[in-house]
Structure 1
Amino acid sequence: MSQPSLAPYVLKRPWLMRWAKPLSKWYFDAAAYRKLGLRSDDLIPEESEIMQRAMKRLTPKESYDRVFRMRRAFQCSLAHQLLPKEEWTKPEEDIRYLSPIIAELEAEVTERQGLEAMVINKPNTKR
């Protein structure tokens, strides 16, 4: 589920950061999901088992808010309209609420696979 990221590489190099920052702002604006009231984690496909389990771990309020944002965006899409500017998701509101849960679940799966693959050798007590 997790993809490799270039973010740590870019953040360590100020000259690259100066070049990438305006480009990233342009990209987020061009993606237009914020103009529909969505957050970045709302765009993660729900078909995977890990995503299904992560959505079950959301609090009832977060789950309700997610469904509300999705339905409102779907209605805007059907009407071929964007939300009024005051209802757009602001960059400071676009926080990752689902990605930490997904990372935690992936770590649990990795740990479980490691434990299931473990081979225990009993010491030979015959002498």
Structure 2
Amino acid sequence: MNALGPSLAPHIRSSRTLKKWVAPVAQWYANLMGYRQMGLKYDDLQQEELPEVQRALGRLTQREYYDRVYRMKLAAHQSVLHKPLPKEQWMSTKEDVRYLKPHIVSVLEEDTERAAWDALSVQRK
């Protein structure tokens, strides 16, 4: 189990048959969620209140952070209007890349390493 929880993704990616069956269902489900219709990426849905996400957000470049804020404001505006963006402005599957996950993973790895070093005991010989 990794820091983000158990995942079947590596197993599914390694099997061509499973990937062939699961990928269309995953795309259908992602489209059904509706966040792409509001112009959001998957990582825009992360809980900002979590400390590791807060630290990861601090590691974004200015451009990535600006784009994130713009997408959030645009989605909030569309939510007030109770309608999705026009179809040509929807987030495509190719554009929906995980920009925050690598930062979150590195924060969690650093926390794990820090905990290991903090728990280290030195013994004299």
Identity value in percent:
42
Shift of 1:15: 2.5
Residue type of the alignment partner of 1:27:
Y
TM superposition outliers: structure 1 runs of 4+ over 4 Å? none
Partner of 2:109: 107
Partner of 1:62: 64
Give the structure-1-normalised TM-score: 0.92
Shift of 1:43: 0.5
Query: In structure 1, which of residues 31, 49, 53 is the aligned counterpart of residue 55 of structure 2?
Result: 53
Find the aligned partners of 1:18 and 1:59 in 2 and give their Cα distance: 35
Structure 2: tracts of 5 or more residues without a match: none
CA RMSD between the two structures: 1.1
Whether 2:85 is the aligned partner of 1:77: answer no
Find the aligned partners of 2:16 and 2:83 in 1 and give their Cα distance: 38
Q: Give per-residue Cα distances to partners, 1:107-126, cap 9 Å, x unaligned.
A: 00000000000000012xxx
Structure showing greater radius of gyration is: 1
Q: Give per-residue Cα distances to partners, 1:74-103, cap 9 Å, x unaligned.
A: 111111011011111111111111000000
> Number of paired residues?
123
Find the aligned partners of 1:83 and 1:29 in 2 and give their Cα distance: 14
Aligned 1:1-127 pairs, distance under 5 A: 2-123=4-125
Residue type of the alignment partner of 2:81:
A
Q: Give per-residue Cα distances to partners, 1:38-58, cap 9 Å, x unaligned.
A: 001000110111111111111
Structure 1: tracts of 5 or more residues without a match: none
Residue type of the alignment partner of 1:10:
I
Give the structure-2-normalised TM-score: 0.93
